[in-house]
Amino acid sequence: MIDERTAEGDFSIVDANACQGCKYVCCDNPGGREQLKVHGDKQVSIVSLDQIFGYVEEYVGEISDYLLEGAESLTVVEMTCSTTDYVQGKRMKARRQLYNTLSLLNTNPDVRTHLENKQARYVVFSWKETFPENLELDSVEAGMSGMMLMSDEVYSPDNESKFDFGFKIKEIRYPDVYTCL
């Protein structure tokens, strides 16, 4: 009863809710919006967490967007589009959503065992820089846009740190690619 799609190689995912009524230009390809580019050497299963928790009658709080499962890994993904000014607040909210999602998944013993049996377990906060539709970047601003993505820490898609429930957390900024093992 849950739509699960699979992909292999290079593909992308998008949080359709975040793009509804979006007043910003945040996609290189407006007809095919993407927020997170993913690469999987082997088949990756993609499940919307909204579908899973949509069957729960009680309010469970804010949850993350997707669950990605590769041969060796399981990843919970929270995505957003944001201007650099607001990303710190979005990052904090995403951490709460990722934690809440893992808490909910761990309440089921079978799901918890499945999670624990994965060799690599990640939570990913991904974000894509947004620009107002009427903003035209001159060549200097366009050249500096990559530098605007740098926050108070040195960013690298390879950076990871410990998270709860035996997971590690990564931040992936568009157009960087998340590799699902």
Determine the pLDDT at residue 16.
Answer: 74
In a domain, 58, yes or no: no
DSSP helix/strand/coil, 122 = strand
In a domain, 141, yes or no: yes
Determine the pLDDT at residue 130.
Answer: 79
CA distances from 2 to 5, 76, 103, 108, 179 (A): 10, 17, 20, 17, 24
In a domain, 145, yes or no: yes
In a domain, 60, yes or no: no
In a domain, 173, yes or no: yes
Instruction: Give the pair of three-digit tokens for residue 57.
Output: 């009658």
Q: Has residue 92 got a pLDDT over 60?
A: yes
In a domain, 97, yes or no: yes
Determine the pLDDT at residue 33.
Answer: 72
DSSP helix/strand/coil, 145 = helix
Listed range (30-34, 108-112, 123-127) with the worst mean pLDDT: 30-34
Listed range (24-28, 94-98, 151-155) with the worst mean pLDDT: 24-28
The number of folded domains in the chain is 1
Listed range (48-52, 81-85, 177-181) with the worst mean pLDDT: 81-85
Sign of CA dihedral 134, 137, 141, 147: positive
The domain in which residue 160 lies consists of 6-14+22-49+72-180
Q: Has residue 151 got a pLDDT over 50?
A: no
Determine the pLDDT at residue 140.
Answer: 45
- How many alpha carbons lie under 13 Å from residue 30 in its C-beta half-sphere? 8
In a domain, 57, yes or no: no
DSSP helix/strand/coil, 29 = coil
Instruction: Give the pTM.
Output: 0.84
Helices (H), 3-86: 16-19, 49-53
